[in-house]
Each structure stands twice: as structure tokens, then as C-alpha cells.
């Protein structure tokens, strides 16, 4: 099986004198050589980039979405048919017609694989790069990015929509780097809790209250509880700063969007969550997760009816709407979008008309931040059961995300007891995404 570790370097012969003159002018402005190369390709510096993770919890079926096998037996291929996309030779499921029209903006890695097929542990591996342990909770890559990159424009660095989920927290990094929970932006009169202050409270009084809190705090602290108090301090500081930043409240004001834009994403929690994600990265949030319910893609029964009537149409409008909106606003070049679940589904349909858990081969979709769209990466066999070419692990996916935002995935963090933990657990960048 060919290795995925092929070179991602750019052959020198494709660079002309004009390219080097352009790069020279960019480095003269204080940019690194790597950032200068990126800028020459229409991608901003890594510190300006954000990530949107579309978490398809439960595991979509690879052969019913982006890796269809129309020549396979019916009990494998199912009733869905492939359709053409706007990229010649690239096909996807007929129930993703809007996504088919923007295939030039995304790449599909068809050769993902995972050794775990139990939801909670598989999600842990997918989101942290590590198998869960009873003795240690590993941080999600959203929390790692929050820690390594910090606050930008006064915005919380890590936001989850509509709520948090198993493995999506900060683990041993502590609550300071946990996600800001946004709630469901599809609800009537949506407003994020606790961003404002009561109308009868001015900032002077709030400042006095904060000073009083510090005085009371100092009376009850002791050395044994110092770590807990420090964590609380950081929570208070984050809440106070959020309340003082008008940009934050405005970023969550989804009612400011036009009806046309909101409808383009779809009037569902997932669709409006994707729209809110665009608003958040536009305002400076570094990592946003939009989760599709809890195990809603876990279709052991009624697989085809649920996919046809609900799951695929909702994803179709939300994902295509997000890519189009980001692109039209000039944000796609600085926003990495990843759509994935924790594993795939069985090639054969079970006796209940569903597909069960499958980790040996599944798909993940990438767009933006330098991803070369319009390509399928990797290959599976005739039933989408096993990887034939360019195998990619979840650790590789995480290393790729870190690389896109300028984090060294080989860096080691220290647990509270001094245990070193490498960020990507040996993963390597999926280079074909960018060449």
C-alpha cells in the first residue's frame, strides 16, 4: 500500500522571476518566507486562519455520500445514484445536488481509517488524536488551538454550536481552554446567554462588584485550593471580557443576516449553525465546531429514508451555503473547513435496512486555507470497505489541522503530573490536499 508521505514541496521550475519578486516584497513587509509563499497562492498568513469543523456525529456512510460504488451489488451500493459535479469526472450522491455545484472548492479524502468502531472512543480519537484513557482526558484540537493561538479581536477562541459533546472539551488543559457554548441559532429570538448585563447595571457598578469579589476571594483562599481558585479567576475574567466587548455580541447577532442568506444555509439548527460559524470566524474566532445532534448519523435502521429525507438535504444546503458564503466574502482562503464523522458505515446493508459501524475506510471533506479543490484523494476497493491507496489516519487529520493554523504538531504538552503528550500523536500532514 503506497505511503501518504510523498513530498509536498513545490518544484522550483514552476516559480518564475515574477513570483520571487512578489515573495521578496512580501517578506520585506515582515512576513515569514512560508507565509510569503502562502500569500502568493492566495492564502493568508497562518495566524490569520480559522477552522470550522462540521462534526457529523454518528458516522456518515462513505458509499452513500462521497465514495459511491455504482458497480457494486445492490446490497452494498444501495438505491442512491451518483451525479456529476462541476468538476469533470468527480461524482457524489444524488441527494447532494448543491454540494455537487461547488466541488471545485473542496477535496475528499476517501482513504480515512480508524481502529475504533465504538462511538465515544472513536470520537475521542477523531477529536484529540488519542484513544481515551480512564486516567487522562486528552484535549480536543479546538482547545489546543485556543491555548496555542489565544484570543483574537476579543472573541472567544473556541466555540461549539449548539452545545459541547464528548471529547470536545479541554481535557487536562483545564477549563480555561474549554469551548464557549453558543446554543441553537435556529431558535426564535436567538441570543447567547450572559453576554449582556442587566439594564439597571452600569459598568462602574459592575467594576465595583468585581473589586468586592476579589476582596472576598482573598479572605477564603488557601494554598491547597489555589489551582481551583486560579481556574475560577480565569472564568470570571473571560466572562467579564466577553461582556465588555461589543464585537462579541454582534458576532452572535444572526438576526442581522438577510432572509436570503439564512435560507441559503437552510432553516435548521445545523444550517443556521454553519451560518453562525461564518459570522464567528469573520469576527476572529479561531475554531468553531458545528455538531449535528447526537449520533444522528448513526443509522442502524431506516438508513436510506433518513438520509434521503433529512440528513443529506440538511448537509447539502448547509455545507454548500457555507463554502459559497465564505468564498464570496473572501474568507475561504483563511478558513479551513473540515466535514467528518468518527468513522464510516458497513458496506453491506443489514437486515434492518441500515448500515452499522465501520472504521476500515471512510471519507472526510476539506476546503479552504490552501486546500486544492476538485479532487478525490486516496482510493477504496470496490465496496468502499478497505483502503487501497494513500491511507490516512485521524492522527494525520489532526496534524493537518494544526499545520494549517501554524502549530507544530510534534510539540509536546505537559499534563498536570508532568507527563509529556505530543499534539498529533505521530500524525503527518495530508500533503495531497495542498498540491
Q: Is the pLDDT of residue 268 over 90?
A: yes
What would the pLDDT profile of 32-82 be if each residue is shown by its tens digit? Answer: 555 555 554 568 789 999 999 999 999 999 999 999 999 999 999 999 999
Length of the chain: 435
Looking at residue 292, its pLDDT comes to 87
What would the pLDDT profile of 381-399 be if each residue is shown by its tens digit? Answer: 999 999 999 999 999 999 9
Segment 230-244 shows an average pLDDT of 52
Looking at residue 242, its pLDDT comes to 57
β-sheet bridge partners, residue 83: 92
User: Which grid cell sits at 173?
Assistant: 488543559
DSSP 154: T
How far is it, in rounded angstroms, from Cα 374 to Cα 80?
22
Which has more pLDDT, 153 or 164? 153
Looking at residue 21, its pLDDT comes to 43
Question: Of the candidates 127, 120, 116, 134, which has an alpha carbon nearest to the alpha carbon of residue 160?
Answer: 127
The pairing of beta strand 362-367 with beta strand 106-113: antiparallel
Question: Could you tell me if 409 and 403 are in contact, meaning their C-beta atoms sit under 8 angstroms apart?
Answer: yes
Per DSSP, the chain holds a count of helices (H) and strands (E) of: 14, 17
Percent of the chain with pLDDT over 90: 74
Looking at residue 26, its pLDDT comes to 46
How far is it, in rounded angstroms, from Cα 370 to Cα 48?
13
Q: 10 Å Cβ neighbour count for 381?
A: 15
**Which residues lie below 8 Å from residue 431, measured CB to CB, with a gap of 6+?**
4, 5, 6, 7, 8
User: Which grid cell sits at 211?
Assistant: 473589586
Question: Could you tell me if 4 and 379 are in contact, meaning their C-beta atoms sit under 8 angstroms apart?
Answer: no
Question: Could you tell me if 292 and 55 are in contact, meaning their C-beta atoms sit under 8 angstroms apart?
Answer: yes
Which has more pLDDT, 206 or 89? 89
Which has more pLDDT, 292 or 10? 292
Question: Could you tell me if 182 and 161 are in contact, meaning their C-beta atoms sit under 8 angstroms apart?
Answer: yes
Looking at residue 43, its pLDDT comes to 82
Instruction: Name the percent of the chain in helix, strand, coil, to the closest 5.
Output: 40, 15, 45
Q: Is the pLDDT of residue 405 over 70?
A: yes
How far is it, in rounded angstroms, from Cα 93 to Cα 198?
50
Looking at residue 89, its pLDDT comes to 96
DSSP 139: P
Task: Name the band, by pLDDT with cuts 50, 70 and 90, for residue 217.
Answer: low
Which has more pLDDT, 200 or 121? 121
Element (H, E) at 379: strand 379-380
β-sheet bridge partners, residue 365: 108, 339
DSSP 203: H
Q: Is 427 left (phi over 0), alpha (psi -120 to 50) or beta?
A: beta
Question: Could you tell me if 363 and 108 are in contact, meaning their C-beta atoms sit under 8 angstroms apart?
Answer: yes
DSSP string of 241-277?
HHHT-HHHHHHT-GGGS-HHHHHHH-SSHHHHHHHHH
Question: Could you tell me if 409 and 398 are in contact, meaning their C-beta atoms sit under 8 angstroms apart?
Answer: yes
How far is it, in rounded angstroms, from Cα 225 to Cα 190?
38
Mean pLDDT over each residue of the chain, to the nearest integer: 86
Question: Could you tell me if 432 and 188 are in contact, meaning their C-beta atoms sit under 8 angstroms apart?
Answer: no
Task: Name the band, by pLDDT with cuts 50, 70 and 90, for residue 219.
Answer: low
How far is it, in rounded angstroms, from Cα 332 to Cα 320?
12
Which has more pLDDT, 222 or 142? 142
Q: 10 Å Cβ neighbour count for 28?
A: 9
User: Which grid cell sits at 63?
Assistant: 458509499
What would the pLDDT profile of 82-141 be if each residue is shown by its tens digit? Answer: 999 999 999 999 999 999 999 999 999 999 999 999 999 999 999 999 999 999 999 999
Q: Which fold has domain 31-192+252-434?
A: Alkaline Phosphatase, subunit A (3.40.720)
Amino acid at each position: 500500500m503506497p505511503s501518504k508521505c510523498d513530498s509536498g514541496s513545490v518544484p522550483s521550475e514552476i516559480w518564475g522571476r515574477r513570483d520571487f519578486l512578489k515573495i521578496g516584497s512580501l517578506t520585506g513587509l515582515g512576513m515569514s518566507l512560508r507565509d510569503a509563499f502562502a500569500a502568493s497562492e492566495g492564502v493568508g498568513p497562518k495566524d490569520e486562519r480559522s477552522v470550522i469543523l462540521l462534526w457529523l456525529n454518528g458516522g456518515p456512510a462513505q458509499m452513500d455520500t462521497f465514495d459511491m460504488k455504482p458497480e457494486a451489488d445492490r446490497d452494498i451500493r444501495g438505491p442512491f445514484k451518483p451525479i456529476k459535479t462541476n468538476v469533470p469526472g468527480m461524482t457524489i450522491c444524488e441527494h447532494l445536488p448543491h454540494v455537487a455545484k461547488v466541488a471545485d472548492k473542496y477535496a475528499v479524502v476517501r482513504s480515512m481509517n480508524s481502529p475504533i468502531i465504538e462511538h465515544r472512543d472513536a470520537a475521542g480519537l477523531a477529536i484529540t488524536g488519542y484513544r481515551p484513557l480512564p486516567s487522562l482526558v486528552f484535549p480536543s484540537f479546538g482547545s489546543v488551538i485556543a491555548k496555542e493561538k489565544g484570543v483574537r479581536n476579543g472573541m472567544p477562541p473556541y466555540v461549539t454550536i449548539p452545545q459541547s459533546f464528548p471529547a470536545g472539551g479541554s481535557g487536562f488543559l483545564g477549563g480555561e481552554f474549554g469551548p464557549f457554548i453558543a446554543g441553537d441559532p435556529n431558535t426564535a429570538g436567538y441570543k447567547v446567554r450572559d453576554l449582556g448585563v442587566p439594564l439597571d447595571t452600569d459598568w462602574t457598578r459592575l467594576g465595583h462588584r468585581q473589586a468586592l469579589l476579589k476582596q472576598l476571594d482573598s479572605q477564603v483562599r488557601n494554598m491547597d485550593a489555589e489551582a481551583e481558585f486560579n481556574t475560577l479567576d480565569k472564568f470570571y475574567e473571560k466572562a467579564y471580557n466577553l461582556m465588555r466587548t461589543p464585537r462579541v455580541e454582534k458576532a452572535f447577532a444572526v438576526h442581522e443576516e438577510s432572509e436570503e442568506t439564512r435560507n441559503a444555509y437552510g432553516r435548521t439548527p445545523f444550517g443556521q449553525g454553519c451560518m453562525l460559524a461564518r459570522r464567528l470566524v469573520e469576527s476572529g474566532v479561531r475554531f468553531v465546531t458545528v455538531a449535528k445532534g447526537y449520533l444522528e448519523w448513526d443509522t442502524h435502521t431506516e438508513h436510506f429514508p433518513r438520509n434521503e429525507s433529512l440528513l443529506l438535504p440538511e448537509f447539502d444546503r448547509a455545507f454548500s451555503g457555507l463554502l459559497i458564503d465564505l468564498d464570496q466574502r473572501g474568507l475561504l482562503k483563511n478558513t479551513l473547513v473540515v466535514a467528518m464523522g468518527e468513522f464510516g458505515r458497513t458496506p453491506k446493508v443489514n437486515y434492518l435496512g441500515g448500515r452499522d459501524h465501520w472504521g476500515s475506510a471512510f471519507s472526510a471533506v476539506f476546503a479552504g486555507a490552501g486546500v486544492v479543490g476538485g479532487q478525490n484523494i486516496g482510493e477504496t476497493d470496490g465496496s468502499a470497505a478497505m483502503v487501497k491507496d494513500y491511507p490516512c489516519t485521524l492522527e494525520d487529520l489532526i496534524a493537518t489541522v494544526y499545520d494549517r493554523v501554524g502549530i507544530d504538531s510534534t510539540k509536546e504538552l505537559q499534563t498536570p503530573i508532568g507527563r509529556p503528550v505530543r499534539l498529533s500523536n505521530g500524525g503527518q500532514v495530508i500533503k495531497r490536499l495542498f498540491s
